[in-house]
A and B are shown apart, each in its own frame.
Chain A
């Protein structure tokens, strides 16, 4: 299992792990080093890595991945309610249920490709969303969302000790993961590193190469002797399981689940993260998730008052219209900012942040080699 990765891959893994584990220090200067934000970045990082296994490798664009996030959360919270506050069974339940779910949805949706596949997945997710509010309220608790109560049986926990006075916290063998402390963050960080490792393995494996080949020319694959359906289904289920784990972790760090987690905007968000970071790259999706969650946090907390504070030095006649214009983009309007940034990326940098980094890198390298050689190698075209 640990054989066969190249030195560069190991370096990448080591660098990635170090960065993730040191986030509480590294993110200090930009004011993002508090657990609630960092664990959110890790959870959405996992979600985006999984999404990228489907979209990045096979090119199948699912618009319904938030359904798995929701199912994972509900399954985990039910495990808390029925069995134990230990998160291991909760995460396993999340994985098992999302896998079953993904097999069913994938089996049907993958009968089509391209835009029809996207629409089918979107339809499934919206169906889940609506069912959660209507027929399935016994399971989902409708609009209130599924929460822990003092009346929950928690059979396994009850066998070992008397229930305490207040609502219990989710734990990992004694480590509190839902208290908003570093315990929850490190749980998510380690899960992210493990998920990243598996994604590297998949990218480097024959299975990953077959998925890329399917993306490149599915017709050729069929006439080359491959049954492409099970390959696609496997990719779909793996990526659904990643989303389910992410949903389970959401519950493990904050034991409640609501249907809004399955809304199409949540499905769209992971698409944005992946594209913003760089589709088909290993770290791109995580970077995309981090950037979006970080800026969401900053921008959505801005209000008119903050803007007035920033631009207070300007004369009123300029300040007033400027602030009322900018206020469209902050607070509730953060989604507008996100939309604009996304448009700019898709138009000017379709490979996302990773492509941007690569361009900067190659420009720097060129400068090191000396610009003169380049000038000789690429003569200006004559008039």
Chain B
């Protein structure tokens, strides 16, 4: 359990959409227990990189290795069952279910695996799963609304809900795509606190974020992606001082 284990290795990944090179020659290593931020301008290929990791988009060449095992080509549910969980840029929740049900469903995936025909028990008897779901709803500050239908939530609240849905699975690697976009300053800060708390428990995270306040509060390492290429990689301080980053990302060297 040393901190220097590579949990995720994105190895020489290329991906083009038609003529557009969304990812070229991307090589990325994420260490166990760290929070690894990926930043870059709009359209840089950040979400595409996560899509490749969770099996949503197959890379043209290259591979993704999780915990020593190649996961490119695996089914999305297999990758999830290995412990890789993704929170999407546009919230992906169950709009017709209540908040509590939204969080209980992933807990069933964690407990019962990819398929189990459990038509004998009732949901209301699954006290362990219900309690756990309520606990995570409380952590993201949505417990009061637990019986509301998820469709009626604001965008920021949907994000927090999806975060709870991810966290209840206790993933080994959590992929967060702009987790605080659309949130108020107050909610952003409580989300940062929550993510810090999880980090203390040793969960590895990749976080894509435009909000530099969030990035510098959480990240141990930052990779900068621009036009599908990683142009810088290092500790927050190293990246901050890198002139290439300032040029590509901030639109010119800082005055």
Contact = CB atoms under 8 A, between A and B. Distances in A.
B122 A224 contact: no
B125 A207 contact: no
B131 to A, nearest CB: 15
A204 B96 CA distance: 16
Contacts of B101: 209, 212-213
Contact of A206 (B85, B92, B97, B121): B121
Given A212-B96, A225-B77, A227-B114, A201 B105 contact: no
Contact of B93 (A205, A215, A217): A217
B120 A204 contact: no
- Chain B interface size range: 35 or more
Given A213-B105, A217-B94, A223-B86, A207 B118 contact: yes
Contact of B124 (A204, A222, A223, A225): A204
A234 interface: yes
Nearest to B104: A209
B80 A4 contact: no
Contact of B125 (A3, A226, A228): A3
A226 B92 contact: no
- Chain A interface size range: 20 to 34
A231 interface: yes
A227 B115 contact: yes
B95 interface: yes
A224 B119 contact: no
Contact of B115 (A1, A222, A230): A230
Contacts of B165: 224
Given A209-B104, A217-B93, 18 more contacts: A202-B119, A206-B121, A207-B117, A208-B119, A208-B123, A210-B105, A216-B97, A217-B95, A220-B94, A223-B80, A223-B86, A223-B92, A224-B109, A224-B165, A225-B77, A226-B109, A227-B75, A234-B117
Interface of B: 54, 56, 75-77, 80-81, 85-86, 88, 92-97, 101, 104-106, 108-110, 112-126, 165, 169
Interface of A: 1, 3-6, 201-202, 204-210, 212-213, 215-217, 219-228, 230-231, 234
9 contacts: A3-B125, A201-B122, A206-B108, A209-B104, A212-B101, A217-B93, A220-B93, A223-B92, A225-B110
